[in-house]
Amino acid sequence: MRIFHDFTGVADRPFVLAAGVFDGIHAGHRAVIARAVGTADLMGASTGVLTFFPHPATVLLPGKNLPVLAERSLKFELLAQCGVDFCIELPFTKELAAMPAREFLSMIENKSMRRCKGIAAGWDWTFGAGRAGSMKMIAELENQTGLRALPVGPVLMDGAPVSSSRIRAAVAEGALDSAASWLGRPYEIRGTVIRGAGIGARLGFPTANVDYDKAALPPMGVYGVEGIPVDSPGRTLDGVANLGVRPSVNPEQTARPVLEAHFPDFSGDLYGRMLSLRFEKFLRPEKKFPSLDALREQIAMDVRQWKSRAV
C-alpha cells in the first residue's frame, strides 16, 4: 500500500476514498472502509484512505494529550489488510483546519483530476473550517464535484456505537475483552525497544522495554502478552509484561510508567527494533516487594501461571 502526503499524483485511474482519522481501525472504521472498497470494486476503481497526522484533536486542542489506539505503522498495516490500495495521510495543521469545507472538496476534485469518484465516511463526519463540511454537503454538491457521498451508519456492539473514544475508555479501565471485541483484534501497543537499566537481566528476567509514546494505556499491572517483532511478524513470542513504576527497585518512582516484557523462551536482542505487545490477560496489580528475591519469586510465578494459562 503506497502512502502519499498530498493529492498530487495519487492515482492514474478512478478511485473511491474512505475518509476519517481512523484511530484504531475498529469495527466502525472497517464498515466505512468496506463501503469504499465495495463501491470501488463495482466501478473497477481503486480504493484510497484519506486520513490525517497527527490526530486533529492534538492540533485543535493542544494539551489534551489524546491517547492513541493504533500507532502509525500499525494503522497502515491494518488499512492494507482491509484491501486499501493507497493512503493519503495529510499533515494536519492549523491551516488545513481553517480551510473552508467547499475549498477542501475543490482541492480533492482538482488535485485528483476528477478521478476521485466518492467519499465514504461515518454519517456524522465533519471537515473544514468550523467543521462545516458534512456528508450532506458532499451529497448536495455531487453534480458539481463528481464526488458521491457514501455515508455509513454506526456499528452497534454491546448496545452502543463502536467509537475510538469508547475503546479508549475501555482500555483505560482494563476492559480488554470489550476493547478486543470492538477492535476485532487484541489491543496492542507498538514501539521501539529501548535500553533499560539492566536490572531485569540481573534479576534473571531480562525485559524488552517498549517506548510507547502516546499509546492508550491499560491500568498498571502485570499482563500475559503476545510479543510480535514487527520486522518478522510470523514470529510470536509468549510473554509477561509489567506496566508500572517498579516500586520494588525504584524508590523515586518514575513519573511515566515503564512498559517492559519478559519472553521466557526467547534469548536474543530486540534493541532498536519495533515490538508489538498484544495485551491478552491482566494477571495482577503491581506490588512493592520487600526484597529483590521476593520480586524474583513473584515474576517466576507470573511466568508459570501465564505459561500454563492457569488464569
The footprint of Mg ion (CB under 5 A) covers 196, 200, 207, 209, 260
Q: Which residues partner with 141 through β-bridges?
A: none
| d(C-alpha 279, C-alpha 170), whole Å | 13
Distances (CA, A) of 144 to 7, 117, 243: 19, 12, 53
Helix (H) or strand (E) holding 309: none
Residues in 216-255 at the binding interface with ligand RBF, rule: CB under 6 A: 222, 240, 242, 246-249
CB of 132 to ligand RBF, least distance (A): 50
The answer to whether 275 contacts ligand RBF (rule: CB under 6 A) is no
The one-letter amino acid code at 161 reads P
Return the number of the residue (23 or 260) whose C-beta is nearest Mg ion. 260
Contact 29, 137 (CB under 8 A): no
The answer to whether 196 contacts ligand RBF (rule: CB under 6 A) is yes
Return the number of the residue (134 or 248) whose C-beta is nearest ligand RBF. 248
Q: Where are the alpha helices (DSSP H) in the chain?
A: 27-43, 56-60, 72-81, 94-98, 101-111, 135-140, 142-145, 164-172, 176-183, 199-203, 292-307
The answer to whether 280 contacts ligand RBF (rule: CB under 6 A) is no
Q: 222 is in the binding site of which of Mg ion, ligand RBF, none (Cβ under 5 to 8 A by kind)?
A: ligand RBF
Q: 287 is in the binding site of which of ligand RBF, Mg ion, none (Cβ under 5 to 8 A by kind)?
A: ligand RBF
Task: State the residue for C-alpha cell 505487545.
Answer: 277
The answer to whether 302 contacts ligand RBF (rule: CB under 6 A) is yes
**Site residues, ligand RBF (CB under 6 A):** 196, 199-200, 203, 205, 207, 222, 240, 242, 246-249, 260, 262, 286-289, 295, 299, 302
